[in-house]
């Protein structure tokens, strides 16, 4: 079985700082990490490799430093890594990104047919969850989004059964390979990289593909040109007409503040009192 | 023939719309339903769609897809009452359960046949799955998780706004030279449309030419959630939330205490969820749940934009924070500057007493 896992490198959101004056995000010095959602996809692929045997190829589109994300994936147990990088990709929206990744997967499949593609549920920076469905459509793969569990893979009959998180419950779906899975978060726990894995990662030759190597001929389909969406402006959220009414009282003791607030709340919003009474059982 | 309404030239801000694209008119809302129930986000979108359609002077339509029968048709009538002028209906046995392939093909065919300029879907697991596939098939732009939708007066295009990564800013995204313009909106971000029993309209039916054997993915089983097990934040009337300012899981108990007295759900900011003090389902904000309670009490929460976008639809917001300059005071209704570890128990006690008195009196 050949599994491709798409991983994106993103800024570590826990380290992001917002400039206090300009309100813009300060990316300088912020370490980059593997998109946390993609680790669930990678771990699931590695588990399938453990159970059924598979070649796991990790694929990332991004600037040259994104190679680090791929090495990380190798250290966990991925077999091969491809970085698709080209200035022509700058400004790609999800339509252009999924086109580029789908082309690259097409190229990967020329050596060894691809049975399964894994994506994360979404990224923490673009946060659209659109790239997985986009790749599936372009490659004509069956799409299984928000998968919480892979129940079984039958490589002979080329079938797979998964559990998919739907709005009010879980769908158990069966489909044919090849297919694309977007993996839900919290569904597994990433293994630790072994010492051997880390050594291998350090030495592994990450393959670097430009647009031609990724099989892209039509440059009108990538980058800004290939992106229907354009960011027209960036703005601060509308300040509310009035700020919070500060509750004050003479003593400023918590108890008195609480009583003052409640009196005010129920006078100005009488409907709230009945809403609260309706929600309580009476045994308080 | 679902391919590319590709632009004649590079999208600019005021370019004339290609005549082929100018033929795309009207605003559509995809009516999501599962297991006999419409998702409330459909009616939230209907309200927003009404506003956009009125600004453009075009009709608003609902799109209903499902198994043949009154159970599906019923959603068309609901759509009219929530503000739709017309409804496009596609009934077919293969549409009984949601599956990507038949729904993508069906919705794509409807769009190609009737050419709406705007298509809105809920940012649910179903809506995101479907929207991503349909937008790729139609080769058009899709803006995710919008918090605001408007019409750009300059070029009559959809101005879809969403928060930017990590900053306290929003960005507006346009899809200039492609049609339809697609966007998803998360549940509870927009208020519900008003309901008018007397409204109705025409239903335009279109068949789907697919048979079950054409469809590769089969639904083997469906396991409904046990609703009692999961917190239902998006629909709670009252929510008490705690943030990093509470400092420890033990102190977070004070939030539960107040919630119990109020019959409220418990929410949290992201750092609290990441620290494991409460489960993931309780996170309020951009990467958590969007809520619209009648009352939202935030204790020890700074009010970062990613938290704000998840709760600013609340009718009344009470903020407790020891920093008088905390951003949350910029948009809360009432503020108490003080130590949450003291204010929370005081509030719990005061509410308890007030409600006990009210109960006796009533
Ligand atoms: C603030 C902001 C808002 C944006 N809004 C929109 C929008 O509304 N519509 C739009 O079309 N574009 C939007 N974009 C552009 C979009 O983020 C980029 O196109 C990005 O390259 C891919 O989208 P994503 O990060 O949302 O990925 P998602 O669709 O959330 O990613 C899903 C999965 O796809 C895979 N994947 C995604 N990107 C890569 C990659 N580069 N390499 C390998 N695997 C990958 C991963 O497995 C990932 O988990 C926005 C960008 C920003 C910064
Ligand atoms: C991509 C992305 C997505 C995100 N999604 C979300 C999301 O969905 N939801 C979310 O909440 N956040 C989200 N965040 C994080 C967000 O930016 C903030 O970091 C987070 O909301 C801050 O949580 P907080 O207010 O609890 O903590 P802090 O910002 O640390 O605020 C703590 C507050 O408590 C006050 N305080 C301290 N001690 C006391 C005391 N004794 N009594 C009263 N007040 C006290 C402080 O003055 C401060 O205002 C996201 C960030 C990113 C980058």
Please state the ipTM of this predicted complex. 0.90
Average pLDDT estimate for A132-156 = 97
Whether B327 is in a domain gets the answer yes
Confidence grade of residue B9 (pLDDT, cut at 50, 70, 90): very low
Same-domain pairing of B199 and B234? no
Give, for ligand 1, the residue of A8, A10, A57 to mutate: max count of ligand atoms closer than 8 Å to Cβ. Answer: A8
Read off the CATH number of the domain in which B201 is found.
Answer: 3.40.50.620
Nearest of B102, B34, B28, B44 to residue B71 by alpha carbon: B34
For A49-82, the pLDDT digits (tens) are 999 999 999 999 999 999 999 999 999 999 999 9
Whether A246 is in a domain gets the answer yes
Cis check: omega of the bond before A178, within 30 degrees of 0: yes
How many domains, chain B? 2
Same-domain pairing of A83 and A143? yes
Same-domain pairing of B42 and B172? yes
Same-domain pairing of A188 and A281? no
Query: What's the domain range around A262?
Result: 242-284
Confidence grade of residue B206 (pLDDT, cut at 50, 70, 90): very high
Burial string for B44-53 (b: 16+ CB within 10 Å, else e) reads bbbbbbbbbb
Q: Return the higher-pLDDT residue of A126 and A176.
A: A176
Ligand nearest to the CA of B139: 1
Query: Cα–Cα distance between B56 and A261 in angstroms, integer?
Result: 44
Average pLDDT estimate for A226-243 = 83
Tell me the shortest Cα–Cα distance from B27 to chain A, in angstroms: 18
Same-domain pairing of A118 and A257? no
How many domains, chain A? 2
Same-domain pairing of B129 and B171? yes
Quote the pLDDT of residue B232. 84
For B46-88, the pLDDT digits (tens) are 999 999 999 999 999 999 999 999 999 999 999 999 999 999 9
For B349-359, the pLDDT digits (tens) are 999 999 888 77
Average pLDDT estimate for B263-283 = 95
Whether A71 is in a domain gets the answer yes
| CA of residue B303 to ligand 2 center, whole Å | 6
- What lies within 8 Å, CB to CB, of A152 at 6+ separation is A160, A161
Same-domain pairing of A76 and A169? yes
Judge contact between A117 and A223, C-beta under 8 A: no
Quote the pLDDT of residue B181. 98
Same-domain pairing of B279 and B189? no
Residues of B in contact with A127 (CB under 8 A): 144-145, 165, 286-287
Same-domain pairing of B236 and B205? no
Whether A227 is in a domain gets the answer no
- What lies within 8 Å, CB to CB, of A91 at 6+ separation is A223, A224, A227
Same-domain pairing of A202 and A256? no
Q: Return the higher-pLDDT residue of B302 and A251.
A: B302
Give, for ligand 2, the residue of B164, B169, B243, B310 to mutate: max count of ligand atoms closer than 8 Å to Cβ. Answer: B243
Alpha-carbon dihedral A92, A94, A100, A105, rounded to 10 degrees:
150
Whether B2 is in a domain gets the answer no
Q: Is B69 helix (H, G, I), strand (E, B) or coil?
A: coil
**Res. A94: pLDDT tops 50:** yes
**Res. B259: pLDDT tops 90:** yes
Mutate to test the interface with B, among A123, A221, A228, A261 (most CBs of B within 10 A): A228
Whether B269 is in a domain gets the answer yes
Same-domain pairing of A176 and A66? yes
Choose the weakest-confidence range: A41-45, A171-175, B169-173, B311-315.
Answer: B169-173
Whether A236 is in a domain gets the answer no
Mean pLDDT, chain A, whole residue set: 92
Query: Cα–Cα distance between A147 and A162 in angstroms, integer?
Result: 7
Same-domain pairing of A75 and A214? yes
**Res. A247: pLDDT tops 80:** yes
Mutate to test the interface with A, among B100, B158, B219 (most CBs of A within 10 A): B100
**Res. A135: pLDDT tops 60:** yes
Same-domain pairing of A162 and A271? no
Whether B152 is in a domain gets the answer yes
| CA of residue B144 to ligand 1 center, whole Å | 10
Whether A206 is in a domain gets the answer yes
Same-domain pairing of A41 and A138? yes
Query: What's the domain range around B273?
Result: 230-361
Read off the CATH number of the domain in which B333 is found.
Answer: 3.40.50.1220
Same-domain pairing of B89 and B187? yes
**Res. A198: pLDDT tops 50:** yes
Confidence grade of residue A115 (pLDDT, cut at 50, 70, 90): very high
Read off the CATH number of the domain in which A106 is found.
Answer: 3.40.50.620
Whether B222 is in a domain gets the answer no
Whether A237 is in a domain gets the answer no
**Interface residue B232 vs chain A (CB under 8 A):** no
Quote the pLDDT of residue B231. 78
Same-domain pairing of A84 and A209? yes
Same-domain pairing of B208 and B321? no
| Residue entry with tokens 């093909």 | B105
Quote the pLDDT of residue A216. 97
Same-domain pairing of B205 and B336? no
Report the percentage of chain B scoring pLDDT > 70. 94
How many Å is the maximal CA-CA distance in chain A? 78
Quote the pLDDT of residue B14. 54
Same-domain pairing of B154 and B289? no
Whether A21 is in a domain gets the answer yes
Of A221, A250, A268, at which residue does a domain stop? Answer: A221
Same-domain pairing of B171 and B256? no
Quote the pLDDT of residue B170. 83
**Interface residue B8 vs chain A (CB under 8 A):** no
- Supply B181's token pair: 């313009």
Same-domain pairing of A107 and A190? yes
Query: Cα–Cα distance between A125 and A111 in angstroms, integer?
Result: 32
Least CB-CB distance to B171: which of A164, A233, A280? Answer: A233
Same-domain pairing of B48 and B136? yes
**Res. A222: pLDDT tops 80:** yes
Query: Cα–Cα distance between B14 and B274 in angstroms, integer?
Result: 45
Quote the pLDDT of residue A283. 43
Tell me the shortest Cα–Cα distance from A275 to chain B, in angstroms: 7
**Res. B156: pLDDT tops 70:** yes
Average pLDDT estimate for A182-195 = 94
Whether B224 is in a domain gets the answer no
**Res. A122: pLDDT tops 60:** yes
The binding-site residues of ligand 1, defined as CB within 6 angstroms of any ligand atom, are: A 6-8, 35, 37-38, 41, 59-62, 92-95, 97, 101, 119-120, 122-123, 125-132, 229; B 142-144, 164-165, 171, 173
Quote the pLDDT of residue B356. 86
Average pLDDT estimate for B13-30 = 86
Same-domain pairing of B162 and B285? no
Confidence grade of residue A26 (pLDDT, cut at 50, 70, 90): low
- This prediction's pTM: 0.88
**Res. B30: pLDDT tops 60:** yes
Mean pLDDT, chain B, whole residue set: 92
Quote the pLDDT of residue B166. 61
**Res. A95: pLDDT tops 90:** yes
Quote the pLDDT of residue A282. 45
Quote the pLDDT of residue A155. 92
- 3-state SS record for chain A: CEEEEECCEEECHHHCEECCCCCCEECCCCCEEECHHHHHHHHHHHHHHHHHCCEEEEEEECCHHHHHHHHHHHHHCCCEEEEECCHHHCCCCHHHHHHHHHHHHHHHHHHCCCCEEEEECCCCCCCCCCHHHHHHHHHCCEEEEEEEEEEEEECCCCEEEEEEECCCEEEEEEEECCEEEEECCCCCCCCCCCHHHHHHHHHCCCEEECCCCCCCCCHHHCCCCCCCEEEEEEECCCCCCCCCEECCCCCCCHHHHHHHHHHHHHHHCHHHHHHHHHHCCCCC
Same-domain pairing of A92 and A123? yes
Whether B225 is in a domain gets the answer no
Whether B31 is in a domain gets the answer yes
Judge contact between B320 and B297, C-beta under 8 A: yes
Of B173, B190, B214, at which residue does a domain stop? Answer: B214
Residues of A in contact with B222 (CB under 8 A): 166, 169-172
Average pLDDT estimate for A216-220 = 95
**Res. A13: pLDDT tops 80:** no
For B86-104, the pLDDT digits (tens) are 999 999 999 999 999 999 9
Looking at ligand 1, which residue's alpha carbon is closest to its atom 2? A126
Tell me the shortest Cα–Cα distance from A284 to chain B, in angstroms: 6
């Amino acid at each position: 079985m050949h599994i491709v896992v798409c991983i994106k490198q993103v800024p570590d959101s826990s380290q992001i700082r917002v400039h206090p004056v300009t309100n813009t995000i300060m990316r300088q010095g912020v370490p980059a990490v593997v998109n946390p959602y993609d680790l669930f996809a990678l771990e699931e692929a590695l588990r399938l490799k453990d159970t059924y045997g598979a070649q796991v190829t990790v694929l990332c589109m991004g600037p040259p430093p994104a190679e680090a994300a791929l090495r990380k994936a190798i250290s966990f147990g991925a077999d091969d890594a491809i970085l698709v990088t080209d200035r022509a990709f700058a400004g790609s929206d999800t339509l252009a990104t999924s086109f580029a990744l789908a082309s690259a997967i097409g190229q990967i499949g020329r050596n060894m047919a691809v049975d399964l593609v894994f994506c994360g549920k979404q990224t923490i920076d673009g946060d659209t969850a659109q790239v997985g469905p986009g790749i599936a459509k372009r490659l004509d793969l069956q799409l299984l989004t928000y998968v919480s569990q892979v129940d079984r893979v039958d490589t002979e009959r080329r079938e797979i059964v998964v559990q998919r998180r739907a709005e009010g419950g879980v769908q158990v779906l069966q489909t044919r390979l090849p297919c694309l899975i977007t993996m839900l978060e919290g569904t597994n726990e990433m293994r630790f990289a072994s010492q051997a894995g880390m050594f291998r990662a350090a030495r592994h030759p990450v393959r670097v593909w430009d647009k031609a190597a990724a099989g892209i001929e039509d440059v009108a389909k990538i980058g800004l040109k290939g992106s229907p969406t354009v960011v027209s402006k960036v703005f601060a959220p509308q300040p509310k007409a009035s700020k919070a009414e500060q509750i004050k009282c003479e003593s400023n003791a918590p108890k008195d503040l609480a009583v003052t607030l409640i009196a005010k709340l129920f006078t100005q919003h009488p409907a709230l009192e009945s809403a609260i009474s309706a929600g309580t059982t009476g045994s308080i | 023939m679902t391919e590319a309404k590709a632009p004649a030239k590079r999208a600019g801000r005021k370019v004339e719309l290609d005549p082929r694209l100018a033929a795309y008119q009207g605003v559509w809302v995809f009516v999501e339903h599962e297991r006999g129930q419409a998702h409330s986000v459909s009616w939230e979108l209907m309200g927003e769609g009404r506003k956009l359609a009125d600004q453009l002077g075009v009709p608003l339509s609902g799109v209903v897809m499902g198994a043949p029968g009154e159970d599906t048709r019923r959603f068309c009538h609901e759509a009219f009452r929530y503000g739709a002028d017309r409804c496009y209906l596609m009934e077919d046995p293969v549409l009984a359960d949601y599956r990507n392939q038949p729904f993508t093909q069906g919705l794509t065919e409807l769009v190609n046949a009737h050419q709406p300029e705007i298509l809105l879907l809920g940012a649910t697991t179903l809506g995101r799955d479907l929207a991503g596939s349909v937008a790729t098939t139609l080769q058009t732009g899709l803006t995710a998780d919008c918090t605001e939708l408007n019409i750009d007066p300059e070029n009559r295009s959809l101005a879809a706004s969403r928060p930017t990564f990590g900053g306290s800013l929003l960005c507006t995204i346009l899809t200039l030279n492609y049609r339809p313009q697609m966007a998803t909106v998360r549940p509870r971000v927009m208020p519900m449309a008003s309901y008018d029993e007397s409204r109705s309209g025409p239903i335009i039916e279109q068949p789907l030419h697919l048979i079950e054997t054409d469809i590769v993915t089969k639904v083997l089983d469906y396991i409904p959630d046990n609703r009692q097990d999961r917190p239902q934040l998006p629909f709670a009337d009252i929510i008490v939330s705690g943030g990093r300012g509470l400092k420890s899981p033990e102190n977070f108990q004070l939030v539960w205490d107040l919630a119990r007295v109020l019959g409220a759900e418990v929410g949290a900011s992201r750092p609290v969820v990441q620290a494991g003090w409460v489960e993931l389902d309780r996170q309020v904000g951009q990467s958590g749940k969007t809520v619209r309670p009648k009352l939202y009490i935030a204790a020890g929460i700074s009010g970062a934009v990613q938290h704000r976008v998840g709760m600013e639809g609340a009718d009344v917001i009470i903020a407790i924070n020891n920093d008088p300059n905390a951003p949350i005071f910029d948009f809360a209704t009432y503020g108490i500057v003080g130590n949450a570890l003291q204010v929370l128990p005081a509030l719990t006690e005061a509410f308890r007493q007030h409600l006990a008195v009210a109960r006796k009196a009533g």
